[in-house]
Amino acid sequence: MSRLEKLVLATNNPDKMKEMKAVFSIQGSIVLGLDNFPEVGEIEETGATLLENSFLKAHAVHIITGLPAIADDTGLEVDALNGAPGVFSARYAGEKATYDDNVNKLLLDMRSVADDFRTARFRTVSSFTDGIRELWTEGIIEGEITREAIGAGGFGFDSVFKLLQNGKTFAEMTEKEKNKISHRGIALRKMQELLKNTFKE
């Protein structure tokens, strides 16, 4: 099977793009961002699941650019909120919500939830399409929702998600520490291996 020469990371979110580029690489391949393809614009996420949204973005970018595309969609699933915000994580506080808007709404919604019941997980689904093949992987990491924002790094819900494995929020970690263990890092490393095996020389 032929080598994967070029592929596009299908996100307009600069924070996600930075993480994806830090984690993902394929030897011998040129990995491009959407900053190279301004004609793509915003892609509406109308899927009912993370997998559907991920493939919506991958397909749209592949069709417009003509290149293989990798996309992902991530959701924070809070047990006390029956899995919400889930697929609506990026717009939890509304369509034009900022990171702070979403965090503040989550903390408000969780204000009466006891410490023992604040469990949650981040789930990322990564997808790939080249018009012929469709592949996907998943990364999950368990944690709990804090009672206030902790840490100055990261983005999204990172400051209120404390990992079970080290007791830190993602916002307290360096980028390197986060990428090594994060849900997105797990999903992208799985995708990296899947593509290496799929596109062997």
Q: Distance between terminal CA atoms of the chain?
A: 6
Q: HSE on the CB side for 25, CA within 13 Å?
A: 6
Q: What angle do CA 168, 83, 109 make, to 5 degrees?
A: 75
Q: Burial of 200 by CB count in 10 Å (0-12 exposed, 13-18 middle, 19+ buried)?
A: exposed
- Active-site residues, by number, are 73
**What does the alpha-carbon distance between residue 120 and residue 142 come to, in Å, rounded to a whole number?**
6
